[in-house]
Amino acid sequence: MGILGGLDVGFGANMQIVRTNYLVVNTSAEATTAEMARFLALYNTQATQNAAGISGLTCDYVMSESHAPSDASSKTDPTVIETIDGAALPIAGAHANATSPGYNVIAVLSVGAATLNAAGTAAAAVPSALNNVSDFANSDLLVALAGATTVDLDFSDNVKKGRLATVNCSELVADIAALLHAAGTATLASATQLSDSGFVEKGNSTGAAPVAFSNLTVADTSIAVVSVVTLMGTGFA
């Protein structure tokens, strides 16, 4: 997540430009929130270690567009988005399933998306990401401000207060899903490397060799990255 600090305007101290990345995965079956969070950790390690130095592909959140977590419940894991449609994507490091983040999305500046191979070394742009997706997201903000809480059920309390904490990329996620389903799946559920005993992250206190993302069963083009750049305001309502 990249943040550009206070803008040089009258109320700039309360505004930020924020980039948020989401890892979207076509799972083979329902995984637990812990398995999804560990999958995200291993993916991010791979992204930062890529020979090209493409840390811009590291992600803040993970979501399956095919299966909600098997143990989905409110506030389970801050990085795991528990819905599958992309209609309420959290911004700026907020808990993925929280309801009172205390800031507001003023505008969606840009949206991009690409599918990746399992090694993260090849990508293909998602066509709809280049065609008015940010227009759709910005229009949805206005609809939510008018009180249409069906747009954003998880954040209905904030909508009632005129505060917006998520963006709606459901149309983009639907297009991504079509591409991922045509390619294959990633196995998160019951994967040994993602289990309590089998998961070993880089930098662990024991010095044990970390699990490599390449050890997981991940088909090429079964994962994608969505990147959303937003203008945020802490006092905007």
Q: What does each of the 237 residues of the chain score in pLDDT, given as a tens digit?
A: 555 555 555 555 577 888 999 999 999 999 999 999 999 999 999 898 875 656 789 999 999 999 999 988 766 788 999 999 998 888 867 777 765 555 788 889 999 999 999 888 889 999 876 667 888 888 888 777 776 554 444 444 445 455 677 888 988 999 999 999 998 999 999 999 998 888 877 766 666 777 888 899 999 999 999 999 998 886 555
Given this model, what pLDDT does residue 136 score?
84
Integer Cα distance of 70 and 115 in angstroms: 25
Given this model, what pLDDT does residue 236 score?
52
Given this model, what pLDDT does residue 116 score?
93
What residue spans of 79-207 are helical by DSSP H?
Answer: 133-145, 156-160, 170-181
CA of residue 156 relative to chain centroid, distance: 20
The domain limits of the chain are: 2-9+21-233
Q: Read off φ and ψ for residue 33, nearest 5 degrees.
A: -65, -35
Q: Read off φ and ψ for residue 80, nearest 5 degrees.
A: -105, 120
Given this model, what pLDDT does residue 147 score?
64
Given this model, what pLDDT does residue 154 score?
43
Nearest to 64, CA basis, from 80, 46, 88:
80
Nearest to 28, CA basis, from 173, 187, 176, 215:
187
* Chain length of the chain: 237
